[in-house]
C-alpha cells in the first residue's frame, strides 16, 4: 500500500480553480519532488495535504486512512509534518524549545504537574531535553540550543524548521522550497542533510523546489504542476526530458 495516495484533488477560491484533478502516489521511503512554475499551485497542494485549506474535491489517504479535510493538528498526529516557504518558527523561544514543541505530543504530563512542579515534570522535561538535543545534533544545531530561534542565521532557521517537523515523528515530511535563498554551498549541505535524515529517521519526503540541481540530484520521482494541473509525472530523468515540461519551463 502506498504511503500517500491523492486522487482527483481540487480546490477553488471563489471562481478561481487553483488546483484541479491532482493525483499523486508516494510509496514509503521515497523522495519525491513537486515542481512547477511560480503560481502553479504547489504550495496550495501542501496546504491541502496538511489541512490548512479544505479541498473542494478529491481524497487524500495516508497509509490507507482518509485524512481529507481533517484538522491540521490531527493530520500531524496522523503522521504528516511540514516546513514553510516563508519560515515559520516560534521566534521568541529558544532553538531547544522549538524542537520540544515538536515533541509535545510524544511526551506528556498534566498542566497541574507543570504548575506545581511535581516529580513527573522534572523527569519528563529531562527526557524531552535529551531527545530534542539528539535531533538538533543531527543538524549540528545542538550548540545553539539556547539561542533565540529568530536570532539564528537564515540557513540554520530552515534547518531548525526541518528539525522541529521531524520531532513530531512524521511518516511523511513535506518540505516547501527548502533551498530557497541559499547559496550553492548551503544547498549542497542541505542535500546532504536531507539524505541523512532519510537514513536516520526513515521518513518519506515530498519536497517543492525550484533549484533544478537539487531536484535532479536527490529526487527519485517528480510531479510537474502547471496552472493547477499535472503536466507530467514519473521518474526524475524521464520527466525532466519530457518536451511538455521543457516547454512549460522555457516557454515557446
| Residues at the interface with another protein (CB under 8 A) | 43, 47, 50-52, 71-74, 76-77, 81-82, 84, 88-94, 96-97, 100-102, 104-105, 107-109, 111, 113-117, 121, 124-125, 128-129, 146, 164-165, 167-168
- H or E element at residue 94: none
Of 104 and 213, CB closest to another protein = 104
**CA atoms of 240 and 33, how far apart (whole Å):** 12
Of 15 and 243, CB closest to another protein = 15
Rounded to a whole number of angstroms, the minimum distance from the CB of residue 250 to another protein is: 29
Rounded to a whole number of angstroms, the minimum distance from the CB of residue 249 to another protein is: 25
Hey, how many other C-beta atoms are within 10 angstroms of the C-beta on 106? Answer: 12
**CA atoms of 88 and 93, how far apart (whole Å):** 12
Taking alpha carbons only, the member of 4, 2, 179 closest to residue 81 is: 4
Rounded to a whole number of angstroms, the minimum distance from the CB of residue 122 to another protein is: 11
Q: Map residue 52 onto helix, strand or coil.
A: coil
Residue 26 · residue 171 · CB < 8 Å: no
Of 111 and 237, CB closest to another protein = 111
Residue tagged 541523512 (cell numbers): 196
Rounded to a whole number of angstroms, the minimum distance from the CB of residue 170 to another protein is: 10
Of 97 and 239, CB closest to another protein = 97
Amino acid at each position: 500500500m502506498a504511503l500517500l495516495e491523492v486522487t482527483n484533488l481540487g480546490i477553488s477560491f471563489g471562481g478561481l480553480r487553483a488546483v484541479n484533478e491532482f493525483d499523486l502516489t508516494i510509496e514509503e521511503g521515497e523522495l519525491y519532488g513537486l515542481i512547477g512554475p511560480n503560481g502553479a499551485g504547489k504550495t496550495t497542494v501542501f496546504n491541502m495535504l496538511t489541512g490548512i485549506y479544505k479541498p473542494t474535491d478529491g481524497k487524500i489517504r495516508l497509509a490507507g486512512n482518509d485524512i481529507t479535510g481533517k484538522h491540521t493538528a490531527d493530520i500531524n498526529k496522523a503522521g504528516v509534518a511540514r516546513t514553510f516557504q516563508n519560515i515559520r518558527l516560534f521566534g521568541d523561544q529558544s532553538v531547544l524549545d522549538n524542537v520540544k514543541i515538536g515533541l509535545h505530543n510524544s511526551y506528556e504530563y498534566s498542566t497541574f504537574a507543570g504548575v506545581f512542579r511535581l516529580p513527573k515534570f522534572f523527569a519528563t522535561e529531562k527526557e524531552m531535553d535529551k531527545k530534542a538535543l539528539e535531533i538538533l545534533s543531527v543538524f549540528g544545531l545542538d550548540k545553539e540550543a539556547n539561542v533565540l530561534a529568530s536570532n539564528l542565521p537564515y540557513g540554520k532557521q530552515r534547518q531548525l524548521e526541518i528539525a522541529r517537523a521531524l520531532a513530531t515523528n512524521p511518516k511523511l515530511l513535506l518540505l516547501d522550497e527548502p533551498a530557497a535563498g541559499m547559496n550553492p554551498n548551503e544547498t549542497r549541505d542541505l542535500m546532504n542533510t536531507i539524505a541523512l535524515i532519510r537514513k536516520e529517521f526513515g521518513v518519506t519526503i515530498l519536497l517543492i523546489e525550484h533549484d533544478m540541481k537539487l531536484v535532479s540530484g536527490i529526487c527519485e520521482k517528480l510531479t510537474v504542476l502547471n496552472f493547477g494541473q499535472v503536466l507530467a509525472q514519473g521518474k526524475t530523468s524521464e520527466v525532466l526530458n519530457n518536451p511538455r515540461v521543457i516547454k512549460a519551463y522555457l516557454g515557446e
